Structure 1
Amino acid sequence: MIIHEDFSLKNYNTFHFDVKSKYFAAPESSDQLADLLQNNIAKNEKILVLGGGSNILFTKDFDGLVIKPIIDNIKIIDSNDSTAWVEAGAGVEWDAFVAWAVDQNYAGVENLSLIPGNVGACPVQNIGAYGTEVKDIITHVNGVFLDSGESFSLKNKDCNFSYRNSIFKQELKDKTIITSVCFKLNKKHTFMLHYGDVKDMVDRLGGASLSNIRNAIISIRESKLPDHTIYGNVGSFFKNPVVSKSIANKIKDEYADAPVYDISETHSKLAAGWMIDQCHWKGKSLKNAAVHENQALVLINKTGKATGEEVLNLAAEIEDSVYKKFDVKIEKEVNVI
């Protein structure tokens, strides 16, 4: 397969930073990927696996090989009266997969509509939105080890999923390439409507159905989040912090309108966007980088001329403000290169 040299990544990251990789390859199948990993370039260079480029912040050129799997098949592995087991290639655009599932009348992913990125990245980050996390529907994650080229298939329980986290961000970070993900989807529908404005929007669209939930969430997300083709961004830049209930209760006592979500008997999740907004960052700029005026969780390449360093500096200022005001550290969701 073709290995490109001195390759521009401007169209392969949603911040649209004009950075380059020393080498670039886009395998279209597991066999092509296996062949690529036997190449001397792959054996001797640093490797970066790139999905949709929607969760990465380039601060410089990448001095190595960027591999972007474009394995884009979707197939039904098995099915019965209540369940469909589906395998999707790593290169399938995530929202295209959600649209496919809804068209098939399969439930489970509709609340994850319009999340940017590809299927291969969804287990790494354990993507989630509107009361749903992808860990709840993943059965297996398939891929290969970078060092040996050997294939693997990890069951859900072995992926160590937690909030915006997985084994692929911890023990297996930079050690694997995901080739496909297997999902368990439901033919019998149980709707998740309690989060945010979803129920009100679904009711306005005519009531609960997979298509109405998808359309409602698309509408909500589009009203809050900027189009990356207009303002380069990666969606939510920060994780919602998980803190002890004592800290959450202290914040709630001081700020009655603070969004607090109990996630266990001992811990609660806070809304990072609300905290950033309380620090008056919404709409503010630092050089060519800015906080989106409608959603404080989103940092944007406002002028189209921002650098990764400018976005990183803005993020550091925001983190410092939140810590000083709330004594809570917020973490980046994005991967910094």
Structure 2
Amino acid sequence: MLPIQSNFSLQHANTLGLPAIARHFLRLTDTQQLAELCLDPVLSVLPWRILGGGSNLVLADEINALVIAVELKGRRLLKEDDDAWYITAAAGENWHEFVQWTLAQGWAGLENLSLIPGTVGAAPVQNIGAYGVEIKDSLFELTAYRLSDGQARVFSAAECQFAYRDSCFKQAEADQWLIAEVVFRLPKITSLKTNYGDIEQELQVLGQRTAQAVAQAVIHVRQRKLPDPAVMGNAGSFFKNPIVSNALRASVLAAHPELVSYPAGPAHYKLAAGWLIERAGWKGRQLGPVGMYQKQALVLVNHGGATQHDVVLLTQAVQADVRAQFGVELEAEPVWW
């Protein structure tokens, strides 16, 4: 019999710390449980929501669905060839711990993604990225189970349709698949990516230039700039860095020569959302029980007692002020339930 819990509190299962009650809840520890779910006459007709580390979610007060917390475990070297190692990890593995484990084995490539909260299975959904690296750079393939019938399918990296903080699992295939296992290809010859943010400065302090040193530098920078969700509820970077046309970038730059931006393909630039939010006056500013973090304007924080409604009001207020001041549209990163 499946260990289903009813009216389950998700307040400690989302890093924003929003109060939410799931109508039904299951800790998935074996993919065989999916087959049982698909045959259950009551549970199979409910909406299903897949929960990883809860670090990229904005939850409503009531979730009228079966929430499946993926707790599949396991990680190992799958194979290697002359050029790369292929490492497989179950979806319920903690992402940061997995990254540090790969580095301890001597397999570089994921070091820039250190200390990102969440699980291995949730990482491809968002195409997580930091300091010039995205998960699409190293993901080889993944295995997912279709929620409608429990059938497994292997997705190549191309089939995941990765884009900036996006994938098919957030768009065309949203809420249709449960990612169970991910295979990474980590090249045996790799170059460290250190020319982003404060990483180079941290490396000079550390006095080393290894993959593990880069990981330590990333950890130091993130700890300095981002609040610990265990202390202050947050969902990390809350807004995407907007990608705009050269013309719009030039217009903003003319009025604000200090604008922070980066080339983003032909005729487009990526603007630093944190810079826009800070210049719009929202860094360290609250609206009710939520606000933008005083050390990093890109991070929305819960000062205590917030609900999804409070997050909606702040999101809309920040978007409106950035639009009015710069003519730029901001898009929230998290998934909304």
Same fold (TM over 0.5): yes
One-letter amino acid matched to 2:68: I
**2:64 alignment partner, SS class:** strand
- The Cα of 1:72 is off from its aligned counterpart by 1.5
After superposition, the C-alpha distances for 1:286-317 in whole angstroms (9 at most, x for unaligned) are 11111110011111111x21111111111110
2:210 counterpart residue number: 209
Superposed CA offset, 1:251-295 (max 9, x none): 222212111110212111001010000011111111111111001
Partner SS, residue 180 of structure 2: strand
**Secondary structure of the structure 1 residue equivalent to 2:60:** coil
Contact in 2 for aligned 1:49/1:177 (Cα 8 Å): yes
Residue 327 (str. 1) matches residue 327 (str. 2): yes
Amino acid in the other structure paired with 2:310: E
Task: Quote the residue 1:278 is aligned against.
Answer: 279
Determine whether 1:78 maps to 2:79.
yes
**Distance of 1:299 and 1:40 partners within structure 2:** 40
Deviations 1:183-227 (A, max 9, x none): 001232310011111111112101211111011000001111001
Amino acid in structure 1 at the alignment position of 2:295? N
Match of 1:193 in 2: 194
Structure 1 contact 283–291 (Cα < 8 Å) conserved: yes
**RMSD of aligned alpha carbons:** 1.1
Distance (Å, rounded) in 2 between the aligned partners of 1:42 and 1:60: 21
Cα distance per residue 1:122-149 (max 9 Å; x no partner): 1111110000010010111211111121
Gapped regions of structure 1 (runs ≥ 5): none
Q: Which residues of 2 match residues 79-94 of structure 1 at below 5 A?
A: 79-94=80-95
> In the alignment, is the contact (CA less than 8 A) between 1:14 and 1:233 conserved in 2?
yes
**Aligned equivalents of 1:41, 1:101: Cα separation in 2:** 41
Cα distance between partner residues in 2 of 1:140 and 1:41:
33
Secondary structure in 1 matching 2:291: strand
Structure-2 residue corresponding to 1:47: 48
Q: Partner letter of residue 244 of structure 1? A: S
Instruction: Identify the residue that residue 219 of structure 1 maps to in structure 2.
Output: 220
Structure 2: state its 5+ residue gaps. none
Cα distance in 2 for partners of 1:186, 1:35 equals: 39
8 Å contact kept, 2:35–2:149: no
Do the aligned residues in 2 keep the contact of 1:86 with 1:184 (CA within 8 Å)?
Answer: yes
Structure 1 segment 284-299 matched on structure 2, within 5 A: 284-299=285-300
Q: Indicate the SS of the match to 2:249.
A: helix
Question: AA paired with 1:11?
Answer: H
Pairing 1:1-337 to 2, within 5 Å after superposition: 1-302=2-303, 304-337=304-337
Secondary structure of 1:26's match? strand
- Partner letter of residue 88 of structure 2? E
2:319 is paired with a residue of what secondary structure?
Answer: helix
Paired with 1:207 and 1:257, the residues of 2 have a C-alpha distance of 32
Q: Supply the AA of the counterpart residue of 2:40.
A: N
1:307 partner amino acid: T
The TM-score, its normalising length taken from structure 2, stands at 0.97
